[in-house]
Amino acid sequence: MTPLAFLFLLVATVAIWALPRHLAAVPLLAGACYMTLGQGIEVAGLNFPIIRLLLLAGVIRVLVRGERPAGGLIGMDKLFLAWATWAVVASAFHENPAATLQFHLGMVYNALCIYFLIRCFCQSEEEIFGLIRMTAWVLVPVAAEMVYEQVSQHNLFSMFGAVPEEPAIRNGRIRSQGPFAHAILAGTVGAVCIPLMIGLWRRYPISARVGLGACGIMVLASASSGPLMSVIFSLFALVLWRWRHWTREMRIAAVAGYVLLELVMKAPAYYLIARIDLTGSSASYHRSALIDAAIKHLKEWWWAGTDYTRHWLPYGVPWSEDHVDITNHYLGQGVKGGLLLMGLFIGVIWCGFRYAGVVMQAWRGVDSEREFFVWAIGAALFAHAASCVSVAYFDQSILFLYLTLGLLATLRVTTALLPQAVPIEDTAPVPHPVQAPIPQPAGMDLQGRELPPGSSSEPHPA
């Protein structure tokens, strides 16, 4: 660990322990955005990059202070725990159980720590607004560094290892990646955060503009089709806000449309992915071929995953003799733990969408601003769900997926505490709650608009 990385770790750890609860997640965001996986320590063969050390600091904080997730254990929490349990159990069915268990424990540690720390640190709607607002500003230096990569063809984060000093170039386009393990992941982080920034627009327009600018720069600087498609899915989901009362019918139409495509196309409908190339250098055919190969070799991995996929495709990857490039997060779950692990992961995402729908229904006809904010977070989850088809989150970028899920879980809990709200596990339609008075946050005027730094919402004396 370099001295600079150690100093960052020290400051971030102290911040996690010292900051108020609602700000304690900000150092975690900084750890994901300002440090690579190349900095950390190794304990008894276990790798602890800085982001994992910061998660450990967060766990110590909540244990010492007795901080707990709002509302106790809810449905999504239980699904996460079931997913984690099977990930650990499934490792026993692999060729090298000890090595697989070590890898799966790292995956489970990341997921549970991020998700439950967000549940502990963000326990109200206003705290969710605050965390997303801070995310906008945290992404600004990352976007600036990715622009620097475009100009200088040098990655400043390479001083921390795990990322190349010179960015990759494909078809003459520089693919900036910042601190992330791949340019696609860097661009995906920007893409999936765009709906969150739009959700801030009415209450914090300055932060929203700054965040949108940073996210857009990250997407463009990555020079990858995947993030651009994620932006399209994000905007598509946001546009559907106007027809939000027809979400059930839209889901049915989407399934029916896919079945119809299967009937009229010669190739399977998922080969439409192979036609997507927004940059002129996309590996979209590989993603379709990977899905096809996984289906054909289902009997090899359906139970508890597999340790060998090299024969699935005629080409492999230089970093593994046993696997092809699993550029699909859902299939990655299947390779690790079979259909059950994949199904539980999909179940967690489905639960996030269900929570978004329940919370929106609670505010429908009562507060359209709050309803749209929830829709925007749901759109971010939709972007994640779509991105998982074309990318595997194998670095610290996974934090943004679990963060989104944690925010939706918190919103579900806070909605259940409103007058006339249904119990957390009730899936029946939610009656409209009585709107409670909203305390005016600092930094906003009396109409709820964000003030420039140094301004005051207090009236001037006569």
Q: Is 423 part of any domain?
A: no
Helix, coil or strand: residue 448: coil
pLDDT of residue 434: 42
pLDDT of residue 419: 55
* Side-chain-side CA neighbours of residue 309 (13 Å): 27
Residue 66 contacts residue 86 (beta carbons within 8 Å): no
Residue 424 lies in a domain: no
- The pLDDT tens digits for 293-350 are 999 999 999 999 999 999 999 998 988 899 999 999 999 999 999 999 999 999 999 9
Is 179 within the bounds of a domain? yes
- In a domain? residue 255: yes
Contacts of 237 (CB under 8 A, 6+ apart): 195, 378, 379, 382, 383
Cα 331 from Cα 345, distance rounded (Å): 11
Q: How far is CA 15 from CA 24, 25, 110, 117, 127, in A?
A: 7, 10, 20, 15, 17
Q: In whole angstroms, how far apart are CA 196 and each of 2, 207, 234, 243, 403?
A: 34, 11, 10, 19, 11
Q: SS3 for 383?
A: helix
Give residue-wise pLDDT tens across range 221-259: 999 989 999 999 999 999 999 998 898 899 999 999 999
What's the domain range around 321? 3-416
Indicate the pLDDT class of residue 442, thresholds 50, 70 and 90: low
In a domain, 449, yes or no: no
At 375-432, the pLDDT tens digits run: 999 999 999 999 999 999 999 999 999 999 999 999 999 887 665 454 554 443 444 4
- Compute the average pLDDT of residues 356-376: 91
Residue pair 312/298 in contact (Cβ under 8 Å)? The answer is no
Least confident of 36-45, 114-123, 193-202: 36-45
Chain segment 340-356, per-residue pLDDT in tens:
999 999 999 999 999 99
pLDDT band at 368 (very low <50, low <70, confident <90, very high): confident
Instruction: Please give the average per-residue pLDDT across 159-163, as a whole number.
Output: 93
* For the chain, counts of helices (H) and of strands (E): 15, 4
Q: Give the largest CA-CA distance in the chain.
A: 80
- Run of H or E including 357: helix 329-363
> Do 84 and 105 meet the contact criterion of CB atoms below 8 Å apart?
no
- What is the per-residue pLDDT for 14? 97
DSSP annotation of 444: B
Above 80 in pLDDT, residue 88? yes
What is the tally of structural domains in the chain? 1
Position 19 in a domain: yes
- At 427 the pLDDT is 41
**Residue 47: strand, helix, or coil:** strand
Residues 6+ apart with CB under 8 A from 104: 87, 88, 90, 91, 336, 337
For residue 454, being part of any structural domain is answered with no
In a domain, 247, yes or no: yes
pTM, rounded to two decimals: 0.88
Distance separating alpha carbons of residues 131 and 140, to the nearest angstrom: 15
